[in-house]
Amino acid sequence: MSTPRVILLCGGVGGAKLALGLDRSLPSGDLAIVVNTGDDFDHLGLRICPDLDTVLYTLAGVVHPEQGWGRADETFAMLDELARRGGPDWFRLGDRDLALHLQRSLRWRRGDRLTEITADLVSQFGVHSAILPMTDDIVATRLDTAEGTLDFQDYFVRRRCAPVVREIHYDGATAASMSPAFLRALSSPRLERIVIAPSNPLLSIAPILSIPGVSDQLRKTGVPIVAVAPLIGDRAVKGPTAKLMQELGMRAGVVGVYDFYAERYPALIDAMLIDRSDGHEATAIGCVVASTDTLMQTMDDRLRVAQSVLELSVKGGRP
Amino acid sequence: MSTPRVILLCGGVGGAKLALGLDRSLPSGDLAIVVNTGDDFDHLGLRICPDLDTVLYTLAGVVHPEQGWGRADETFAMLDELARRGGPDWFRLGDRDLALHLQRSLRWRRGDRLTEITADLVSQFGVHSAILPMTDDIVATRLDTAEGTLDFQDYFVRRRCAPVVREIHYDGATAASMSPAFLRALSSPRLERIVIAPSNPLLSIAPILSIPGVSDQLRKTGVPIVAVAPLIGDRAVKGPTAKLMQELGMRAGVVGVYDFYAERYPALIDAMLIDRSDGHEATAIGCVVASTDTLMQTMDDRLRVAQSVLELSVKGGRP
């Protein structure tokens, strides 16, 4: 699985919906999903990779349907027991979910690469698309907030994104390397398109792009790079995207998203897929723009957005 | 909790029954239980201490009542999930049980002493007796069998004690030290009696006695040392005691148990409590002998055996 036609850069819940749409729209083996690992952390001695797991569970059809993360039909006997004796229960570790964390953590501590571990899990779960961690090194997203510097999960889960954010760091990024599998996927002779999922630009996509060489390597492929807007109007479908953009002095909305990518990673984005209701903003966006209903509630929604992304005609795109 | 009146040397299920009887018979703080850690092992990245857990769960009143180990009202969602994807399910890790393994493993890997970790768990579970690992070092019971050398859990759980045993090793024992808490308990000015539980002499008690200095330190206390027979007739109440003794050329039965202790640890045992049905063997045992119904099925049985052990008059015992 090293010659994808489409590569998706992806975070957790929102991105995983598009990942599923693409996975179900493309022939087996045509999709490689590069996943943010900036949210990964150690908890209870386990190495936990929230975005990788969300993408894996979503593609395997075992994700919790309402939540969008964790397992369907989950139980919490371990966590209840832990909480009963004063242990930490702020991170909702389900019993089934634990099987995966134990498997991964064992190999992680033995020194296996996250890419290999993930590939084996992908195979165990019968998933056909490749799921690639952005790096095998440790990158940790941390946030300078009005309440001090917070680890990502501390901010995101424990504090529910409440603290006002002043700056975001991707600790370890400058010393990290793209995973070899990520590099190989980018040199696929069949590559036709790179898609940026409707994930949080600051918390899910920027960590991937913060690794040295990533944006250059993406450009070097010469294929169109299409971003799907994670906002409809000035509101994120899920999560703190809009709040965070405002706190960091950005314009919350699809134009703000485009400006963020264009300023920080010049000449990266060739086209953007935005929601139909944001059509009036198209002229303020400095690249090819197409629109559809981007809210992905049903499987049909996911397939429609996937089709729109794949068919978006990038006139004037790089050859 | 450093001045016990009674110290119990103990393995898992069988010994834990007497531990419970003693715990309920003695005032809070009067009992210290020194537990075999030769069965401890690493599994799925977790540090698992079967005998410590059995004693803890038993004293906390949360042990599985029929099994005698593991938790009552347990579920196995993690294990089922693991098995579904080809992971190892031969060791029955329950979901509630996992909470304890995760807590301990995290601290174990951080370098905390097993004694400290165990003391904190004992406190979390509201247990009043001290539960002391025999050592903070790693000792691993391994068995030379007709099918090669096996790790303890491999022999005991996976192979259900089927392979014929030729020799038993306590790897690491000669380099191990008694835990400081074990030493402190032995120097308790209130100490009146040391009890050897009706645990497997070869697999549960010998690992404790294999640590340099233990038998000398036990003798040095000067208090009576009373062993409770783990066999009734030539059969173990539970586990492979009789089979193992025969395979190693010992006489299976209470006399064989006494001979084992007397030959390997001269002048250690002052008295033995055997089952009433073995009363005719008393004259063949070279120490003070008392008898009662030693089968511990009910709580009353446990209290009765505990009382018998505490009241056993050791005439001619060391001053």
For residue A6, the model assigns a pLDDT of: 98
pTM: 0.93
For residue A316, the model assigns a pLDDT of: 52
What confidence category does residue B123 fall into, taking pLDDT thresholds of 50, 70 and 90? very high
Mean pLDDT of A221-238: 90
Between chains, do A109 and B45 touch, taking CB under 8 Å as contact? Answer: yes
How do residues A160-211 score in pLDDT, each as one tens digit? 999 999 999 999 999 999 999 999 999 999 999 999 999 999 999 999 999 9
Residue A285 included in any domain: yes
Instruction: Determine contact: A122 vs chain B, CB below 8 A.
Output: no
Residue A49's nearest CA partner among A162, A170, A160, A140 is A140
For residue B235, what are the contacts with CB-CB under 8 A and spacing of at least 6?
B242, B252
Specify the CATH number for the domain of residue A252: 3.40.50.10680
Between chains, do A45 and B77 touch, taking CB under 8 Å as contact? Answer: no
Residue B165 included in any domain: yes
Between chains, do A45 and B124 touch, taking CB under 8 Å as contact? Answer: no
Q: Which two tokens stand for residue B268?
A: 């250690």
The residue type at A206: A
Q: Residue A269: give the domain boundaries.
A: 6-64+114-135+170-311
DSSP A183-196: HHHHT-TT--EEEE
How distant, in Å, are the alpha carbons of A56, A102, A279, B40, B196 from that of A260?
A: 28, 38, 19, 54, 72
Residue A119 included in any domain: yes
Residue B1 included in any domain: no
Residue A193's nearest CA partner among A2, A9, A36 is A9
How do residues B260-314 score in pLDDT, each as one tens digit? 999 999 999 999 999 999 999 999 999 999 999 999 999 999 999 999 999 998 8
Residue A316 included in any domain: no
For the cut 50, the answer to whether the pLDDT of residue B319 exceeds it is no
Instruction: Determine contact: A75 vs chain B, CB below 8 A.
Output: yes
Instruction: Determine contact: A81 vs chain B, CB below 8 A.
Output: yes
C-alpha span between A71 and A93 (Å, rounded): 10
C-alpha span between A24 and A128 (Å, rounded): 10
Instruction: Determine contact: A46 vs chain B, CB below 8 A.
Output: yes
Q: Which two tokens stand for residue B201?
A: 């002499």
Is the CA virtual torsion B74, B78, B83, B87 positive or negative? negative
For the cut 50, the answer to whether the pLDDT of residue A319 exceeds it is no
Q: How far is CA A103 from the centre of its chain?
A: 22
C-alpha span between B155 and B202 (Å, rounded): 14
For residue A251, the model assigns a pLDDT of: 87
Q: How many domains does the structure of chain A reveal?
A: 1
- Residue in chain A nearest B94 by alpha carbon: A78
Helix residue ranges, H only, B26-72: 50-60
Is the CA virtual torsion B211, B93, A59, A277 positive or negative? negative
C-alpha span between B31 and B10 (Å, rounded): 12
DSSP A110-147: HT--HHHHHHHHHHHTT--SEEEESBSS--EEEEEETT
How do residues B38-78 score in pLDDT, each as one tens digit? 999 999 999 999 999 999 999 999 999 999 999 999 999 99
Residue A96 included in any domain: no
How, if at all, do strands A130-133 and A41-43 pair? Answer: unpaired
ipTM of the predicted structure?
0.92
Instruction: Determine contact: A98 vs chain B, CB below 8 A.
Output: yes
Instruction: Determine contact: A123 vs chain B, CB below 8 A.
Output: no
SS (HEC) of A220-283: HCCCCEEEECCEECCEECCCCHHHHHHHCCCCCCHHHHHHHHHHHCCCCCCEEEEEHHHHHHHH
For residue B240, the model assigns a pLDDT of: 86
Q: Which two tokens stand for residue A140?
A: 């940790």
- What angle (nearest 5°) sits at the alpha carbon of residue A160, between those of residues A235 and A33? 65
Burial class from Cβ neighbours inside 10 Å (0-12, 13-18, 19+) for residue A294 reads buried
Residue B35, phi then psi, degrees to nearest 5: -115, 140
How do residues B220-250 score in pLDDT, each as one tens digit? 999 999 999 999 988 777 778 889 999 999 9
Checking A111-118 for CB contacts under 8 A at 24+ apart, the result is A113/A179, A114/A37, A114/A49, A114/A52, A114/A179, A115/A179, A115/A180, A115/A181, A118/A49, A118/A52, A118/A56
What is the enclosing helix (H) or strand (E) of A55? helix A50-60
Residue A85's nearest CA partner among B106, B124, B127, B105 is B124
> What are the helix and strand counts (H, E) for chain B?
12, 14
Between chains, do A45 and B105 touch, taking CB under 8 Å as contact? Answer: yes
Between chains, do B45 and A105 touch, taking CB under 8 Å as contact? Answer: yes
For the cut 80, the answer to whether the pLDDT of residue B315 exceeds it is no
How distant, in Å, are the alpha carbons of A122, A254, B253 from that of A126?
A: 6, 36, 55
C-alpha span between B301 and B319 (Å, rounded): 30
Mean pLDDT of A82-109: 96
What confidence category does residue B216 fall into, taking pLDDT thresholds of 50, 70 and 90? very high
Residue A297 included in any domain: yes
C-alpha span between B16 and B38 (Å, rounded): 16
For residue B313, the model assigns a pLDDT of: 86
Residue B318 included in any domain: no
